[in-house]
Structure 1
């Protein structure tokens, strides 16, 4: 055996590998043999990695195909079960819904029955519930509608607009950053949760004695007519209009409070750029066309100026002649020393520095004196006290300088005692309109202001606190009075936190008691220190939710009394223990690829990160999942393809 091995010239270990039955093992052993050259091992390693990548890429591709298949199947199933033939036959309609009886002080049709009150058993049951009428479709009205429990009230919403608008993003819609459809939600969809009704009309008058709301509608012939809508509870959330301050020529200005305003502004901006791009437009006229003047340095004015600047930087620069971008000028005229003056000083300065870097011209301590079709005229008081007049040529002026009363709110104050000269409807701590029948009418949002005067409650507070009836208030009785003040005027809480110091300050004769005269002076000074709540969406929303919770509470209590066979619940007893208290959650504003936040004692400013935080907050505050989806799509489209430059 050994000799044969020697003669063959092979070692025993080598002769084994010549056997054909185990030949596949040769390649496996050679793959890991250290005798192979390095480049061969590298090639095989790359080959195996390529196989692994291809394998997982194939898995990912199959997963994507499977996902698309499931999505397509889901859409097909949705279409199959959604789009079908639905026939409506023999729907009962009460004759009074089509031919209302007349009545009231003006003998108008009284809409006691709605067309759909007899659609089904649920609607018939709701028709017997107390009638809750809400005027308006803004933040306050949404707060009420989103908080109310279904089935407690026969709800009717009266609004001239058929949709609610997310007003904080109107500046973005004015330049095409987002589409107007992404900011609106039909009121009928919102009211549907409560099985409520919607009346497209404008509230113009009221008869409080008869509980009738006068509404102006447009009939099928296009003619305006008026009807009465009866109510048991009325919530007024009509908002406000822009304040004119007596400045002539405001008909040449734009406002930014509605969707229609945003659409008009967008058309004017695009028209100005298109006209400025024409070869026949001279340099002077081009500068006038591309001059944008914003009157007012509040959040709306600042955000509009920032959106116009972004529009010029990101879209005009790319698609219009560069001469247009070079001639653009943006001016913000502010009557006070700083813009965003309701925010912290640090935020105001940050915004001003940002505008200065961007080339947005800030004109502070100035007042607009007149607006013409081609100019904005304003005056500036110099340090020596002299007044200097200036003029800015422009074809675009935005007026955003405060608010004034809505016509319906003005009509109501004319009817109420002691409210004729008010700048808003005065309500008590429970948002009930003062002077109206108790618990019948509420007012919330920009159209209302919570009372701050304490002196009108003087005798009531004294009777409650003066236990010994000696005509003086000692410190123990003063502590009782402080609790009463907090219930009637919650906004006074911060001003009377130092109870002992306040008592000693007005105890001028140092007899450890307050005389009635000393007490009157104390309450007068205290009332003068209290400031009204700001006219913001945050305030209106919180007030609306408060009203919704109160109405739910009243309905539950009423149901309990009816079950025991007792009389109606008294509204003031049901709510006196819980006055409205505003919780400030902060303010924010967009200033051009940057944002500022003012949250109590904490102020936050920043660039891209702050902008995304600003977007996240507004995205979360949308009224429906539909508007959230549309808003997200708009932001993605703007980031990838830019703004829509079409003029519709």
Structure 2
């Protein structure tokens, strides 16, 4: 565990030393660093990175493991490119990445499903429940790694046969780390837990018969029976109906996306270096536009800035003045989910690195070589402006996958438009034996006012004393941990809403108080940190249930649910959110509006990410990549 005392010793954002000009490298007219890396600095880099690498290997604690980037979505859509010429270029990349949903798979012939093959679990005659896990992302991998071997017959079904460490995808776009260093084989993970894996896509589900219809790469459907099914298929890219996004922009969700971006960056640099290219075309080719100022967009912009300051300056010195990086953000600030001072610090750093920010800006369309946008304060009658680009990366928004949508439509209780709603034990509302977690799910927020009013009607009380309301609040906190942050302030709340100072709350006062509390309850963010904790929680729950002799899901569903209700509900613990902002500087956002940033947070960020790797193999590869980049720079060659 990383102690708070260690974190508190880090420099505060407001520190004048942190923002002092002396701590900023000398820069050229475009704002990119022009100071040369000396051998002494290389040695310092080597030893610091080596020390961090060693410490990262030693750190294997749950607490530090939960400090992750605030984004970690699992999504794999094949992208349409802007022209036939770009198609031919990108086909040279030897990348084939199937989608988790069915958008690119052949349609399943539903008429012949009865005659299709049925998967047989290797231990088919066992009394152990059949546990089917759909997906191979953060939530699913956390569940697999934490479940006790031998308790269930486990099958993992996913078209992606590896776990991907998504928070470091921006580094893979420039070659700071290699793509393989972020990937770990699902078969290797499953082997340690006596689980089995199939590379296939979940297409549909028969809830009544407890069967999932899947399809492999051969295009032939088959059925997978289950006793328990965990849906963790992630989410897909959301374009919000903006014309041209799918055709003309790149995404940053998968290894395939990162490789395409890296290839395109190299292609544009080499094209811009040709003597036949005009200055205007050079500026367009080397204009990188990022739509979205959240953690993914911000970290990608920071990574590109580092790449330009070090490697482009060294290898393409004649092009350095043509490079521009622009972040387009609809909100007032980038990183707007973090503390305001961290957002302001990130914007300050971006200004120093000459990264252009277009905040309060809405994307109207994405054309083949220009992003069309409109400022919020602009005259409604004014024409939208255009921003030419060589590369446009769409880094905002997630939506339902086809499988999630089909499941959603089968259950009447599912009313959320963007994800599956689950209860506080991650059970899908309206369906037995089905769980959901990760980006495809959202935990139902309790209607506290409704719960308390039901208690008042049941007991016939029209007023509650402090002690009486305290008992009710304690019960609600146990059942609905999301409300704890508000109800644990019971003393302050009671005093604030006891308008007549009678020492009791009447129905009107209770209504006013809980209406305000209900408004403040928000859904958990769809992040890697949340998904990982959900997987760990569900694994612990399933381990406990399997050890209870009275709970056998194979033929006693009611007993299983009753036993499950005796276990503690899911409670999310926020361990902090990192975001890299360039120039070996990162920010860390903690609960209560507390945050810090700087070089020390950058090393803490890297150490935490090393410790968060799912295997010693990826931990070693990641550390070696960082050392290699510090000594030799990034590899800009293309194959």
Same fold (TM over 0.5): yes
Q: 3-state DSSP class of the match of 2:216?
A: strand
Encode CA deviations 1:340-372: one digit per residue, 9 max, x unaligned: 111111111111111111111011111111100
Q: 3-state DSSP class of the match of 2:172?
A: helix
What is the CA-CA distance between 1:575 and the residue it aligns to?
A: 4.0
Q: Is the 8 A contact 2:327 2:357 kept in 1?
A: yes
Encode CA deviations 1:200-246: one digit per residue, 9 max, x unaligned: 11112111111111112222xxxx12221111111111111222122
> Which one of 557, 560, 563 corresponds to residue 548 of structure 2?
557
Instruction: Name the CA distance, whole Å, in 1 between partners of 2:337 and 2:287.
Output: 27
Encode CA deviations 1:519-576: one digit per residue, 9 max, x unaligned: 5665444322201111110000001000000000001113x778xxx99843343344
Instruction: Name the CA distance, whole Å, in 2 between partners of 1:498 and 1:312.
Output: 49
Encode CA deviations 1:98-135: one digit per residue, 9 max, x unaligned: xxxx9999415353414xx2xxxxx578x541111111
- After superposition, residues 518-557 of structure 1 pair within 5 angstroms as 522-557=513-548
> Which one of 319, 342, 349 corresponds to residue 344 of structure 2?
349
Q: Is the 8 A contact 1:451 1:489 kept in 2?
A: no
- Show the counterpart of 1:132: 131
- Show the counterpart of 1:15: none
- Establish whether residue 142 from structure 1 lines up as the match of residue 137 from structure 2: no
> Which one of 443, 447, 454 corresponds to residue 450 of structure 1?
443
Q: Is the 8 A contact 2:551 2:563 kept in 1?
A: no
- Show the counterpart of 1:254: 250
- Show the counterpart of 1:580: 570
Q: 3-state DSSP class of the match of 1:371?
A: strand
- Show the counterpart of 2:278: 282
- Establish whether residue 310 from structure 1 lines up as the match of residue 300 from structure 2: no
> Which one of 610, 618, 628 corresponds to residue 601 of structure 2?
610
Instruction: Name the CA distance, whole Å, in 1 between partners of 2:449 and 2:115.
Output: 38
What is the CA-CA distance between 1:497 and the residue it aligns to?
A: 2.7
Q: Is the 8 A contact 1:382 1:388 kept in 2?
A: no
Instruction: Name the CA distance, whole Å, in 1 between partners of 2:168 and 2:413.
Output: 38
Instruction: Name the CA distance, whole Å, in 1 between partners of 2:233 and 2:359.
Output: 32
Q: 3-state DSSP class of the match of 2:309?
A: helix
Q: Is the 8 A contact 1:340 1:348 kept in 2?
A: yes
> Which one of 563, 576, 581 corresponds to residue 591 of structure 1?
581
Q: 3-state DSSP class of the match of 1:218?
A: coil
Instruction: Name the CA distance, whole Å, in 1 between partners of 2:551 and 2:587.
Output: 51
- Show the counterpart of 1:109: 116
- Show the counterpart of 1:24: none
- Show the counterpart of 1:7: none
What is the CA-CA distance between 1:469 and the residue it aligns to?
A: 3.7
- After superposition, residues 159-558 of structure 1 pair within 5 angstroms as 159-219=158-218, 224-251=219-246, 252-320=248-316, 322-382=317-377, 389-437=384-432, 440-454=433-447, 458=451, 468-469=459-460, 475-499=466-490, 502=493, 522-558=513-549
Instruction: Name the CA distance, whole Å, in 2 between partners of 1:567 and 1:399.
Output: 44
The two structures, once aligned, show a CA RMSD in angstroms of 2.8
Q: Is the 8 A contact 2:204 2:406 kept in 1?
A: yes
Instruction: Name the CA distance, whole Å, in 2 between partners of 1:477 and 1:306.
Output: 53
Cα–Cα, structure 1 residues 633 and 108, in superposed 2: closer, same or farther, change >3 Å?
A: farther
Cα–Cα, structure 1 residues 497 and 455, in superposed 2: closer, same or farther, change >3 Å?
A: closer
**Greater helix percent: which structure?**
1
What is the CA-CA distance between 1:477 and the residue it aligns to?
A: 3.9
Q: Is the 8 A contact 2:551 2:560 kept in 1?
A: no
Deviates more, 1:484-493 or 1:271-280: 484-493
- Show the counterpart of 2:615: 624
Deviates more, 1:518-527 or 1:353-362: 518-527
Q: Is the 8 A contact 2:288 2:389 kept in 1?
A: yes
Cα–Cα, structure 1 residues 576 and 246, in superposed 2: closer, same or farther, change >3 Å?
A: farther
Cα–Cα, structure 1 residues 407 and 327, in superposed 2: closer, same or farther, change >3 Å?
A: same
Cα–Cα, structure 1 residues 128 and 523, in superposed 2: closer, same or farther, change >3 Å?
A: same
Instruction: Name the CA distance, whole Å, in 2 between partners of 1:202 and 1:103.
Output: 15
Q: Is the 8 A contact 1:239 1:446 kept in 2?
A: yes
Q: 3-state DSSP class of the match of 1:484?
A: helix
Normalised by the length of structure 1, the TM-score is: 0.76
Cα–Cα, structure 1 residues 531 and 471, in superposed 2: closer, same or farther, change >3 Å?
A: same
Encode CA deviations 1:243-271: one digit per residue, 9 max, x unaligned: 21221100211111111110111111111
What is the CA-CA distance between 1:577 and the residue it aligns to?
A: 3.9
Instruction: Name the CA distance, whole Å, in 1 between partners of 2:557 and 2:255.
Output: 47
Cα–Cα, structure 1 residues 256 and 383, in superposed 2: closer, same or farther, change >3 Å?
A: closer
Instruction: Name the CA distance, whole Å, in 2 between partners of 1:257 and 1:500.
Output: 45
Q: Is the 8 A contact 1:380 1:388 kept in 2?
A: no
Instruction: Name the CA distance, whole Å, in 2 between partners of 1:614 and 1:171.
Output: 14
Normalised by the length of structure 2, the TM-score is: 0.77
Deviates more, 1:295-304 or 1:491-500: 491-500
Encode CA deviations 1:263-302: one digit per residue, 9 max, x unaligned: 1111111110011011111111111000000001111101
Q: Is there any run of 5+ residues in structure 2 with no aligned partner, and where?
A: 1-108
- Show the counterpart of 2:46: none
What is the CA-CA distance between 1:479 and the residue it aligns to?
A: 2.8
> Which one of 567, 570, 574 corresponds to residue 560 of structure 2?
570
Instruction: Name the CA distance, whole Å, in 2 between partners of 1:532 and 1:218.
Output: 36
Deviates more, 1:248-257 or 1:488-497: 488-497
Q: Is the 8 A contact 1:554 1:571 kept in 2?
A: no
Aligned residue pair count: 526
Encode CA deviations 1:40-78: one digit per residue, 9 max, x unaligned: xxxxxxxxxxxxxxxxxxxxxxxxxxxxxxxxxxxxxxx
Q: Is the 8 A contact 1:449 1:532 kept in 2?
A: yes
Q: 3-state DSSP class of the match of 1:309?
A: helix
